[in-house]
Amino acid sequence: MSNDTPVPLSDADLDNVNGGVAAVGSSNRTGAIGNIDIGSMDLETAMMAVQSNRAALLDTQLSEQIKSVQERNTEVSELNADKVALERINSLFEPSKGDDQKVSLATKLGDTTVGAVLESLNNDLKVDANKDGMVSLGELKSSILEAKRELDSMSNSQQMDMLRLQSLSNKRNEAFDVMTNFLAKMQDARASIIGNMR
C-alpha cells in the first residue's frame, strides 16, 4: 500500500517548480510579477500594472509574429520569381520531343540569357548545366518540381503563421478590453462612492 498523505513543500521546492514565483518574475520577492512589485500597491493599481504588462508582452509577441510573416512573404515572393524564370526557360523546349532535349546556356531569353537566369536562382533550385554549356529539359523539370514543392511547404507554413498572428491579435484585443472594462468599473465604483457621500 502506498502512502497517500500529502507532503508539504518548502518555499525552496516551490521555487524550483516550473511556473513558481521564480519562474514568473526575475525576483524572489513575494508579490512580484516581472519587474513590478505589486505587494505595496492598492488593488486598482496592481490590476492596471498586471494588465498593462500583459498588453505590452502581447504587443511584443505580435510585432515579432508580423515580422516573421513578412519574412516568409518575402521568401515566397522570391521563390515564385525563380519558378517563373524556370518556366520561361521551359517554354524554349518542345514538349513532344522528350526530356533529353538540351538548350545552350547562351540562348537568348528576352533581354538576358538562359545561363544568366540559371545563375540568379535560389541555391535549392540551381540547375547543373552540363560541361558542354547545355541544360536538359529533364533537369529543368526537376527544378520546377522542387520549386513547386517548396512553395507548397511555404504556403502551409504561411497559413500557420497567419493563424498564430490572428490568435495573438485576438489575445491583445482581449487584454485591452479587460483593461478598459476594469477602468470603467473602477470609475463607476468611484462615482457611486462619491454619490453616496453627498
Same domain, 15 and 56: no
Residues 187 and 125 placed together within one structural domain of the fold: yes
Which CA distances in Å does 104 have to 9, 83, 94, 110, 115?
77, 19, 14, 15, 8
The pLDDT score that the predictor gives to residue 4 is 55
Using one digit for the tens of pLDDT, what is the confidence trace for 25-82?
A: 444 444 445 566 667 777 778 888 888 888 888 889 999 999 999 999 999 998 898 8
- The bridge status of strand 32-33 relative to strand 108-109 is unpaired
User: 95 with 12, same domain?
Assistant: no
pLDDT at 134 over 70: yes
Structurally, the chain folds into a number of domains equal to: 2
76 and 112: one domain? yes
**How many angstroms separate the CA atoms of 77 and 84, rounded?**
11
Same structural domain, 87 and 34? no
One domain, residues 26 and 105:
no
pTM for this entry: 0.63
